Chains A and B, each alone.
Chain A
């Protein structure tokens, strides 16, 4: 699962929903542990595998205005808590 969420809070919410289940218990995935590997597209492990010209064209601009480090930390924390490799 690759996310394009705009901040740390939404990234954490999405990531938790597809790993441990919907933390807000509001949707169909409440209590459903999918355990999917989840990353944000701006995280280094993803960024380094994307063709540089494609990343530059589609993501680089948003990376400059979003809190990329906070987002990466939020998603990494969810992975760690769900037992996935960081």
Chain B
């Protein structure tokens, strides 16, 4: 699986890894983030 050049949806969760953090990781790997969100079930 290669992230470089891929379009990514970052689906984060407050009690885990937040969407913004996933998006930063994906961008650093050369991916394009098309949607980032963080869910909270509390």
Residues of A within 8 A of B (CB): 1-7, 10, 14, 36-37, 39, 41-42, 45-46, 49-51, 54-55, 57-59, 62, 66, 85
The smallest C-beta distance from B24 to any residue of chain A, in angstroms, reads 5
Asked if B13 and A2 sit within 8 Å, CB to CB, the answer is no
CA distance A39 to B1 in the complex (A): 9
Asked if B16 and A54 sit within 8 Å, CB to CB, the answer is no
Asked if A5 and B13 sit within 8 Å, CB to CB, the answer is yes
Which of A4, A51, A85 is the one whose CB lies under 8 Å from B12?
A: A4
CA distance A59 to B26 in the complex (A): 12
Which of B2, B11, B15, B38 is the one whose CB lies under 8 Å from A2?
A: B11
Residues of B within 8 A of A (CB): 1-4, 8-13, 15-22, 24-26, 28-30, 38
Q: Which residue of B lies closest to A6 (CB)?
A: B16
- 27 A–B contact pairs at CB < 8 A? A2-B8, A2-B25, A3-B11, A3-B12, A3-B22, A4-B10, A4-B11, A4-B12, A4-B21, A10-B16, A41-B17, A41-B21, A42-B17, A46-B1, A46-B25, A49-B2, A50-B29, A51-B28, A54-B24, A57-B24, A58-B17, A58-B21, A58-B22, A58-B24, A59-B22, A62-B16, A66-B16
